[in-house]
Amino acid sequence: MHSRLYTNVLGGNDFVEACVANNFSYKETGLFLFYSKVTHGNFIPFLNTLLGDMIDLSENLSQTDLDRAKNQLKSNIFMALEQRTVKSNDIGSQIMFYGNRLPSEQIVSQIDKLTVADAKMIFKKTLSSKPTVVSYGKNLEELPSADDIQRILKTNLV
């Protein structure tokens, strides 16, 4: 079973050499990012594919998609917590955020409470914020600015 990002962005496009999504949660805010490596001259097709998929997800997320993602998240969390370093970091983070360590049942309960409407609202909020774009390489003039990317998102978000 592959993630939607792998299936729709990385798996079907030879010009995408790497694409990873990450989310960093903080007490009052968060950071959502994509790291990608794309072959020269293919950033615009990549961006169209990635943004198109994110816009589609914000509008057409199904209960099946959400259930699959929640199951994958729970599996990833508990498999990672089998490592002592990850577990120690998790304990420290939970104490900083919540003042105590959350029981596993509470974590699962919070994940299970997420609804399709909640997820769509989060996607739209995330996609409507101004992106930060960092790039490295030669001939970067084809890259659109953060303002251009924000315009594309605003034009296409319902």
Provide the terminal-to-terminal Cα distance of the chain, rounded to the nearest Å: 30
Task: Answer whether 94's CB lies under 8 Å from 101's CB.
Answer: yes
Name the range with the highest mean pLDDT among 40-49, 93-102, 115-124: 115-124
Share of the chain above pLDDT 90, in %: 18
pLDDT of residue 117 exceeding 70: yes
Query: 137: pLDDT confidence band, cut at 50, 70 and 90?
Result: confident
119 pLDDT band, cuts 50/70/90, is: very high
pLDDT interval class at 133 (50, 70, 90):
confident
* 7-18 pLDDT, tens digit each: 888 888 899 999
To the nearest whole percent, how much of the chain has pLDDT over 70?
Answer: 97
Q: Where are the domains of the chain?
A: 4-156
Chain segment 46-105, per-residue pLDDT in tens: 888 998 888 888 889 999 999 999 998 899 888 887 888 888 888 888 888 888 888 888
On the question of pLDDT at 109 being above 90, the answer is: yes
Whole-angstrom Cα Rg for the chain: 18
Residue 158 pLDDT: 56
CATH topology of domain 4-156: Cytochrome Bc1 Complex; Chain A, domain 1 (3.30.830)
